[in-house]
Amino acid sequence: MLPRHLQTVGGRCITRASHSRPVCMSGNFLRYPWWTGHYQPFSFFPVNNWHPQDNSRPYHYFGPHRTALPGSHIFPWFPTHSSWLHTSNFNMDAKGDEPFRKRKKGIEDDEYRGPWAKRPYPPASDLRAPPIQGTPKIFDPTSPQTEAEIKRRWEDFSPHNHERTSEGKFDFTVMSYNILSQDLLEDNSSLYSHCRRPYLFWNYRLPNILRELQEMNADILCLQEVQDDHYQEQIKPNLEALGYICEYKVRTGSKPDGCAICFKSDKFNLKLVKPVEYFRQNIALLDRDNIGLVLILQPKTRGRDVPMICVANTHLLYNPRRGDIKLTQLAILLAEITEVAQIQDGRFCPIVLCGDFNSVPGSPLHRFVKEGTLYYEGLTIGKVSGQERYSKGQRILSIPIWPKSLGITQKCVYDSPGKDETPEGSLEGQIVEKTDEQTKEPDIRVDSNLWHHFSLSSAYSHYFPDTGMPEITTCHSKSAITVDYIFYSAEHNDVFRQPGSEGPCNGLRLLGRLSLLNEQDLWSVNGLPNETNSSDHLSLLAKFRLEL
Q: How many C-beta atoms surround the C-beta of residue 201 within 10 A?
A: 22
Identify the bridge partners of residue 546 per DSSP, sorted by sequence position: 170, 508
Q: How far is the CB of 356 from ligand KL2 (least distance, A)?
A: 4
Distances from the Cα of 59 to the Cα of 163, 165, 213, 239, angstroms: 16, 20, 20, 27
Interaction with ligand KL2 in 119-138: which residues (CB under 6 A)? Answer: none
Q: How far is the CB of 513 from ligand KL2 (least distance, A)?
A: 20
* 471 or 536: CB nearest ligand KL2: 536
B/e letters for 87-110, b = 16+ CB within 10 Å, e = fewer, are bbbbeeeeeeeeebeeeeeeeebe
* 313 or 455: CB nearest ligand KL2: 313
Separation of alpha carbons 460 and 50, rounded Å:
10
Helix runs in 221-295, H state only: 228-230, 236-241
- Interface with ligand KL2: number of residues (CB under 6 A): 10
* 211 or 322: CB nearest ligand KL2: 322
* 255 or 509: CB nearest ligand KL2: 255
* Sign of the alpha-carbon torsion through 300, 271, 230, 61: negative
Name the closest residue to ligand KL2 (Cβ). 318
Separation of alpha carbons 50 and 40, rounded Å:
19
Q: Of residues 295, 475, 483, 490, which one binds ligand KL2 by CB under 6 A? A: 483
Separation of alpha carbons 174 and 154, rounded Å:
14
Of 165, 260, 174, the C-alpha closest to 220 is: 174
Q: How far is the CB of 47 from ligand KL2 (least distance, A)?
A: 25
Q: What is the DSSP string of 280-335?
A: -TT-GGG----EEEEEEEEE--SSSSPPPEEEEEEE----TT-HHHHHHHHHHHHH
Interaction with ligand KL2 in 86-115: which residues (CB under 6 A)? Answer: none
H/E element, 60:
strand 59-60
Q: How far is the CB of 187 from ligand KL2 (least distance, A)?
A: 7
Task: With H, G, I as helix, E, B as strand and everything else as coil, classify residue 96.
Answer: coil
Separation of alpha carbons 503 and 496, rounded Å:
11
Separation of alpha carbons 472 and 474, rounded Å:
6
- Binding letters toward ligand KL2, positions 169-198, x by CB under 6 A: ---------x-----x---x--x-------
Distances from the Cα of 239 to the Cα of 231, 235, 312, 335, 539, angstroms: 10, 6, 19, 30, 16
- Binding letters toward ligand KL2, positions 300-319, x by CB under 6 A: ------------------x-
* 82 or 188: CB nearest ligand KL2: 188
Q: How far is the CB of 184 from ligand KL2 (least distance, A)?
A: 4
Q: How far is the CB of 481 from ligand KL2 (least distance, A)?
A: 9
E strand residue ranges, 316-389: 351-356, 373-375
Q: How far is the CB of 258 from ligand KL2 (least distance, A)?
A: 11
Q: How far is the CB of 227 from ligand KL2 (least distance, A)?
A: 12
Q: How far is the CB of 358 from ligand KL2 (least distance, A)?
A: 5
* 178 or 489: CB nearest ligand KL2: 178
Q: How far is the CB of 525 from ligand KL2 (least distance, A)?
A: 18
Separation of alpha carbons 414 and 377, rounded Å:
22
Q: Is 214 in the site for ligand KL2 (CB under 6 A)?
A: no
Q: How far is the CB of 482 from ligand KL2 (least distance, A)?
A: 11
* 351 or 483: CB nearest ligand KL2: 483
Q: How far is the CB of 485 from ligand KL2 (least distance, A)?
A: 12
Task: With H, G, I as helix, E, B as strand and everything else as coil, classify residue 145.
Answer: coil
Phi, psi of 33 (to 5 degrees): -65, 145
Q: How far is the CB of 528 from ligand KL2 (least distance, A)?
A: 10
* 178 or 539: CB nearest ligand KL2: 178
* 385 or 489: CB nearest ligand KL2: 385
Q: Of residues 49, 314, 358, 498, which one binds ligand KL2 by CB under 6 A? A: 358
Identify the bridge partners of residue 490 per DSSP, sorted by sequence position: 508
* 184 or 408: CB nearest ligand KL2: 184
* 77 or 318: CB nearest ligand KL2: 318
* 26 or 224: CB nearest ligand KL2: 224
Separation of alpha carbons 262 and 274, rounded Å:
14
Q: Is 474 in the site for ligand KL2 (CB under 6 A)?
A: yes
CA 518 to chain centre: 16
Separation of alpha carbons 218 and 252, rounded Å:
28
* 99 or 468: CB nearest ligand KL2: 99
Q: How far is the CB of 535 from ligand KL2 (least distance, A)?
A: 8
CA 254 to chain centre: 23
Q: Is 291 in the site for ligand KL2 (CB under 6 A)?
A: no
Interaction with ligand KL2 in 318-357: which residues (CB under 6 A)? Answer: 318, 356
* 110 or 289: CB nearest ligand KL2: 289
Separation of alpha carbons 127 and 117, rounded Å:
13
Note the residues at the interface with ligand KL2 (CB under 6 A).
Answer: 178, 184, 188, 191, 318, 356, 358, 474, 483, 536
